[in-house]
Amino acid sequence: MRMPEALEALSTESDADRVFGEPYQTPDGATVIPVSKVRHRRDGSRVARALGMFVVKDGRPTWVPAVDATRLALMGELIGLVAATLATVAMIRRPPWPDLRGDLSRRA
């Protein structure tokens, strides 16, 4: 399949959840095709979120994902909070020091 045919197939795809943007050329000769995902809300509005882009250079396509740094940081904080909570519960339930049960008084 030739490049124009592949781009035409991407732009006429009837997938309602995934939207391919208009391909454009960069000054270095690469073709960039943005990809986003559309979610439909209950009130009838739509929200688009960037997934990434296809970059076609010298006839070789590569996928470049869109990374949301805020989402990654939030996930790291959430995992740390859960780990700290579980560690606190484990400490309260069973302390790490040995049991000190028994008679500790010395008799002469």
| Contact of 16 with 40, CB cutoff 8 Å | no
Shared-domain flag, residues 44 and 93:
no
Shared-domain flag, residues 58 and 72:
no
Q: Which amino acid makes up residue 25?
A: Q
Is residue 106 situated within a structural domain? no
CA 107 to chain centre: 66
Domain count, the chain: 2
Shared-domain flag, residues 9 and 59:
yes
Shared-domain flag, residues 53 and 12:
yes
pLDDT tens across the length of the chain (108 residues): 566 676 666 555 444 567 888 899 999 999 999 998 888 888 888 888 888 999 999 989 998 988 888 989 999 999 999 999 998 888 777 666 666 666 666 665
Of 36, 33, 37, 28, nearest in space to 63 by CA: 33
Range of the domain at 71: 67-97
Shared-domain flag, residues 12 and 56:
yes
Q: What single string gives the DSSP state of each residue in 71-94?
A: HHHHHHHHHHHHHHHHHHHHHHHS
Shared-domain flag, residues 7 and 40:
yes
Query: Kind and range of the H or E element at 53?
Result: strand 46-57
Task: Give the tokens for residue 41.
Answer: 């809300």
Shared-domain flag, residues 58 and 82:
no
Whether this prediction's pTM lies above 0.85 is answered by: no
Shared-domain flag, residues 56 and 88:
no
